[in-house]
Amino acid sequence: MLSQHLIILPIVIPLFAALLQLLPWGEHPQRARRIIGLTSCVLLIVVAIAMLVSTFAGPSVYALGSWQAPFGIVLVADRLAATMVLLTTVLALPVLIFASHGEDNLGSHFQSLYQFQLLGIIGAFLTGDLFNLFVFFEVLLISSYALLMHGGGKLKLRATLHYVILNLAGSALFLISLGVIYGITGTLNIADLAQKVALLSGDDAFILRGGGMLLLIVFGLKAALLPLYFWLPQAYANTTGSVAALFAIMTKVGVYAILRVFTIVFGEDGGAVALLGYDWLWWLGLLTLAAGGIGVLGSRDLRLLIAYLVVMSVGTMLTTFSMNTERAISAVMYYLMHSTFITACLFLLADVIAEQRGKTATRIVKGRQLAQHSTLGILFFAAAIAVIGMPPLSGFIGKLFILEAARTGAQVALLWPIVLGTTFLVMIALSRAGSRMFWHVLEGKPGDVKHPWTQLSAIVFLVGCSIALTLFAQPLAELTEQIAYDLMNPSYYIDAVLGQPGGSHE
């Protein structure tokens, strides 16, 4: 009976956890909220693993209220969705452990907002129709507005204001695009859309192209694609470390939406709207990658540098996706996992460094020696190697997969020099940051702020995830190849959603 409702559990668990955390809990409410939050994250990992295992027998479809697609609300767990849910839950646990050492006391309701954020992110991965994708986008956005402001401050307020205004505009465009698409096709179910879109022609196809391009703009805004990425650097650089670390998965929601919708609905079988926006993604992805590299080199603050690394990762993934091959999508999925873990790790590390350096915080200037200098130096070195893409960590394998995916002369001529050139810029920027913070330090007594090992274990865990991605690169590559095959053959998804007589199946 439990397996039948497996798909709904990743949504129900954080929802109930968040509601429980809003209750008064006697003399030590924060302790109870932390226990509830950590228990929720552990349960989510267990459920996500079980759900991923179940997808190898085929996609699982859950029809709420037994209303079948395309008329009812459906949740769909295929290998792509289950992998993204597992990635989110594995990230959420160490980040929450880190935040539970005092950072969650800086503002009200951090713990419950964290669970609502997970609810929105996981729901976006599992939903089977565009309207509920909009609904889950709004859930995660409303939570993110409050989380960005966690702890208060003028810089956070200004960055959050820009973030809110842009995303409100994005939400309005999302609704307009949904109206256009529904007006032409009469459906918003992704699988049903794929069938109906392929039959359109003439004016209907032309209007649908407009609706599809609006969707691309919305998803590009969520993913932080140039020229829509300007909200990200300041927002991520000025919030707390744990919030920025969790937000490492936020841009991946936009990337996921592009992967899902623009392969199934606007893929090669899309008829008159086939491969809509792919040419734009190629050029905008390259420009985003280049702009991110310039931003990394020009950053004078470690947090801002890491934020631009997120921008670079988005450009890398969307450029690679636009090549429209199974090999390219497989490379995107591996690189997505790598970049999520390692940028989250760097955000947490930057938070620790800022506290131990005192007034100089994360500015890339000479400062006093850290209280846990050697430990943090080793962790920074390992994370830097991974994010640069040097062997033997996961960044090297991820970039190797991406470069290997470029097969034509034009792809090689453009992608290789930009990827390798920006990698060189990242190496320079991180070498400069590392030398200023760990090598050329001021003489005198080290700082006296130390972080407990239980908190530093979150950073160690995320570095360990990069190592695990390297050690298990072969089975992970096989998984990403299967995901790529599923996306390039949308009938696999469509038949599961529309061809099932029952309300749910495993």
Residues 224 and 269 in one domain: yes
User: Rounded distance, CA 143 to CA 133, Å?
Assistant: 16
Domain assignment of residue 81, given as a range: 1-275+493-506
Residues 294 and 385 in one domain: yes
Within 8 A by CB and 6+ apart from 17, the residues are 36, 37, 39, 40, 112, 115
Which pTM does this prediction carry?
0.94
Residues 261 and 362 in one domain: no
Within 8 A by CB and 6+ apart from 112, the residues are 17, 18, 19, 21, 22, 33
Residues 208 and 60 in one domain: yes
> Is the Cβ–Cβ distance between 79 and 479 less than 8 Å?
yes
- Whether 396 maps to a domain, the answer reads yes
Residues 152 and 12 in one domain: yes
> pLDDT digit of tens for each residue in the chain (506 aa)?
455 688 999 999 999 999 999 998 878 889 999 999 999 999 999 999 999 999 998 899 998 888 887 888 899 999 999 999 999 999 999 999 999 998 888 888 899 999 999 999 999 999 999 999 999 999 999 999 999 988 778 888 888 888 999 999 999 999 999 999 999 999 999 999 999 999 998 899 999 999 999 999 999 999 999 888 989 999 999 999 999 999 999 999 999 999 999 999 999 988 899 999 999 999 999 999 999 999 999 999 999 999 999 999 999 999 999 999 999 999 999 999 999 999 999 999 999 999 998 888 889 988 888 888 899 999 999 999 999 998 888 999 999 999 999 988 888 999 999 999 999 999 999 999 999 988 888 777 777 788 899 999 999 999 999 999 999 999 999 999 999 999 999 988 999 999 744 334 33
> In 322-452, which residue ranges form alpha helices assigned H by DSSP?
326-357, 373-388, 394-405, 409-434
User: Would you state the pLDDT for residue 404?
Assistant: 93
Q: Encoding tokens for residue 271? A: 């008829």
Q: Encoding tokens for residue 464? A: 């360990």
Instruction: Provide the residue count of the chain.
Output: 506
- Find, among 121, 148, 142, 118, the residue nearest to 133 by Cα: 121
Residues 372 and 355 in one domain: yes
Residues 415 and 374 in one domain: yes
Within 8 A by CB and 6+ apart from 403, the residues are 415, 416, 419
- Whether 324 maps to a domain, the answer reads yes
Residues 281 and 271 in one domain: no
Residue 63's DSSP bridge partners are 74
